[in-house]
């Protein structure tokens, strides 16, 4: 069967319009902004630069293309979201100030929020007024997210919140966060842990909430423990009904997973950039047979991962279930991200160990940082072991007791 990869005319028009807009707006932005390294989400300069870029995008209605037009988006289809990610990767645009808010939390507010909630929160996500975080994980609820135990107990017009979250990215910088809390603590004992979970939008400045940054292996303080001690959250901040939190969360993670297709295009752009860097600081690497083989393999694997995510997309478009492609694509992306990070420092040779901040570091130490940072890719958004379990159980249908909780 011949596969037609040509874009539909409306998708081609979308891509061309975005390219033309970037041609016009990106060079002046890069020239005007101090070239802060925005690869980290948490640095002060990087936050400033990301916010400035998101505002430029929003002015052109390019910040949240998949949101409906009435909320400042373009009603982009799943295909156009991938095109959007690919073109941004091609242009190596600066990072977003509110990636969680734009890609995941905003669509959930649009789907589940009341009119007042939409009017209150969507504009500040879009125009980079406020930074947003997403608080799901807990010390005993990561892959097994439904085991979460931070409680929200109704008290008049409020809920009283107690417990602890962990690994919450940029919670110390965020003004708002989408949190999953347990409103029915008996659900776990009843063996129905997916029930009794409720989603809330929480003002991170509420008394009784404390975000404590955790220093990670890159030396940055990006994610946090978040402690709740009798924090009072108004009922009006509940997103959806009591007990509907699991459905809200599944929608959110679904958006995260479509985002993997975009991450794959970033890998292709990274591979090109690391070859350029090697050409300038360690050209001998590009003649080395074993490195050349690793480069060729990496390129082939990126292409395979891209095709896999396109297959998942074509199933979405046809309204079919898009797995096992989704867990396969997550697995492929995460191992590729680590393979590429290791390849980048090897390609740079001795310069590959020069850390960020040093006068001789290559690309402001991006590759050295990436080498440590990418360890997260096989953990965050569902670990590789668990993706393999899903594939074994549901796609390959291996015999034996289910490994999924
Ligand atoms: C950089 C980074 C940013 C993050 N940002 C956020 C954020 O903003 N908000 C948020 O809510 N969370 C965030 N997380 C947390 C992330 O979602 C969790 O780390 C992830 O869900 C894994 O959970 P865990 O760390 O508790 O590991 P666990 O689930 O405890 O897993 C530990 C180990 O056990 C293995 N394992 C677990 N269950 C099984 C099983 N059934 N079969 C086989 N092996 C198993 C896992 O594969 C893993 O190797 C972030 C994590 C990272 C690394």
Give the closest residue (by CA) to ligand 1 atom 48.
Answer: 383
CA dist., res. 103 & res. 121, Å (int): 14
Mean pLDDT of 288-293: 98
CA dist., res. 134 & res. 67, Å (int): 19
Measured from the Cα of 384, ligand 1's closest atom is 47
Rounded to the nearest 5°, which phi and psi values hold at 181?
-130, 160
CA dist., res. 110 & res. 69, Å (int): 12
CA dist., res. 157 & res. 378, Å (int): 41
CA dist., res. 108 & res. 301, Å (int): 33
Q: Is the pLDDT of residue 32 over 70?
A: yes
Nearest to 161 by CA among 114, 198, 121: 198
Mean pLDDT of 213-235: 96
Decide whether any atom of ligand 1 lies within 6 Å of the 179 Cβ.
no
Q: Is the pLDDT of residue 322 over 80?
A: no
Q: What angle do CA 260, 266, 269 make, to 5 degrees?
A: 155
Q: How crowded is residue 76: how many other Cβ atoms within 10 Å of its Cβ? A: 19
pLDDT value for 355: 80
Could you report the per-residue pLDDT of 35-69, keeping only the tens digit for each? 666 777 778 888 999 999 999 999 999 999 999 99
Give the closest residue (by CA) to ligand 1 atom 16.
Answer: 380
DSSP code per residue over 239-280? ESSTT-HHHHHHHHHHHHHHHHHHHHHHHHHHHHHHHHHHHH
Decide whether any atom of ligand 1 lies within 6 Å of the 374 Cβ.
no
Decide whether any atom of ligand 1 lies within 6 Å of the 167 Cβ.
yes
In the block, which residue shows the tokens 């947003």? Answer: 132
Nearest to 138 by CA among 127, 128, 151: 151
pLDDT value for 46: 87
pLDDT value for 253: 57
Mean pLDDT of 11-36: 91
Decide whether any atom of ligand 1 lies within 6 Å of the 373 Cβ.
no
DSSP code per residue over 276-326? HHHHHH-GGGGG-HHHHHHHHHHHHHHHHHHHHHHHHHHHHHTT---TTHH
Mutate to test the pocket of ligand 1, among 383, 391, 398, 401 (most ligand atoms within 8 A of CB): 383
Decide whether any atom of ligand 1 lies within 6 Å of the 169 Cβ.
yes
Q: Is the pLDDT of residue 196 over 70?
A: yes
pLDDT value for 1: 61
Measured from the Cα of 136, ligand 1's closest atom is 11
Q: Is the pLDDT of residue 284 over 90?
A: yes
Decide whether any atom of ligand 1 lies within 6 Å of the 140 Cβ.
no
Rounded to the nearest 5°, which phi and psi values hold at 65?
-60, -25
CA of 166 to the centre of ligand 1 (A): 10
Helix (H) or strand (E) holding 88: helix 78-91
Supply the mean pLDDT for the chain: 91
Mean pLDDT of 98-106: 93
CA of 379 to the centre of ligand 1 (A): 5
pLDDT value for 96: 94
Helix (H) or strand (E) holding 169: strand 158-169
Give the closest residue (by CA) to ligand 1 atom 11.
Answer: 136
Counting residues of the chain whose pLDDT is more than 70, the rounded percentage is 95
pLDDT value for 344: 96
pLDDT value for 22: 98
pLDDT value for 405: 47
CA of 281 to the centre of ligand 1 (A): 37
Decide whether any atom of ligand 1 lies within 6 Å of the 380 Cβ.
yes
Q: Per-residue confidence at 349, pLDDT binned at 50, 70, 90? A: very high
Mean pLDDT of 217-221: 90
Global pTM reads 0.93
Measured from the Cα of 143, ligand 1's closest atom is 29
């Amino acid at each position: 069967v011949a596969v037609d990869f040509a874009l539909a005319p409306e998708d081609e028009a979308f891509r061309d319009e975005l390219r033309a807009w970037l041609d016009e707006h990106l060079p002046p932005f890069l020239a005007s902004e101090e070239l802060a390294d925005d690869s980290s989400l948490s640095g002060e300069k990087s936050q400033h630069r990301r916010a400035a870029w998101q505002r430029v995008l929003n002015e052109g209605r390019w910040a949240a293309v998949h949101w409906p037009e009435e909320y400042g988006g373009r009603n982009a289809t799943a295909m156009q979201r991938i095109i959007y990610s690919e073109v941004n990767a091609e242009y190596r645009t600066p990072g977003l100030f509110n990636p969680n808010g734009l890609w995941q939390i905003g669509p959930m507010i649009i789907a589940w929020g009341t009119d007042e909630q939409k009017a209150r929160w969507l504009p500040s996500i879009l125009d980079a007024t406020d930074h947003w975080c997403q608080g799901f994980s807990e010390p005993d609820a990561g892959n097994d997210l439904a085991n979460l135990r931070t409680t929200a107990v109704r008290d008049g017009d409020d809920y009283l919140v107690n417990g602890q979250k962990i690994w919450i990215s940029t919670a110390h910088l965020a003004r708002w966060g989408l949190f999953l809390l347990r409103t029915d603590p008996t659900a776990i004992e009843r063996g129905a842990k997916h029930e009794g979970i409720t989603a809330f939008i929480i003002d991170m400045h509420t008394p009784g909430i404390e975000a404590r940054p955790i220093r990670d292996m890159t030396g940055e303080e990006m994610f946090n423990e978040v402690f709740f001690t009798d924090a009072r959250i108004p009922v009006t901040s509940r997103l959806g009904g009591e007990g509907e939190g699991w459905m809200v969360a599944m929608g959110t993670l679904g958006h995260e997973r479509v985002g993997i297709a975009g991450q794959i295009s970033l890998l292709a752009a990274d591979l090109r950039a690391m070859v350029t860097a090697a050409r300038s600081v360690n050209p001998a690497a590009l003649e080395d047979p074993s490195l050349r083989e690793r480069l060729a393999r990496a390129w082939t694997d990126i292409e395979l991962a891209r095709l896999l995510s396109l297959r998942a997309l074509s199933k979405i478009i046809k309204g079919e279930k898009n797995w096992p492609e989704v867990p396969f694509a997550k697995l492929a992306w995460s191992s590729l991200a680590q393979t590429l990070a290791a390849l980048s420092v090897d390609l740079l040779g001795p310069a590959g160990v020069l850390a960020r901040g040093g006068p001789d570091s290559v690309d402001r130490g991006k590759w050295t940082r990436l080498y440590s940072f990418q360890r997260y890719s096989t953990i965050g958004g569902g670990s590789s072991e668990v993706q393999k379990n899903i594939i074994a159980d549901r796609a390959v249908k291996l015999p034996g007791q289910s490994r999924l909780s």
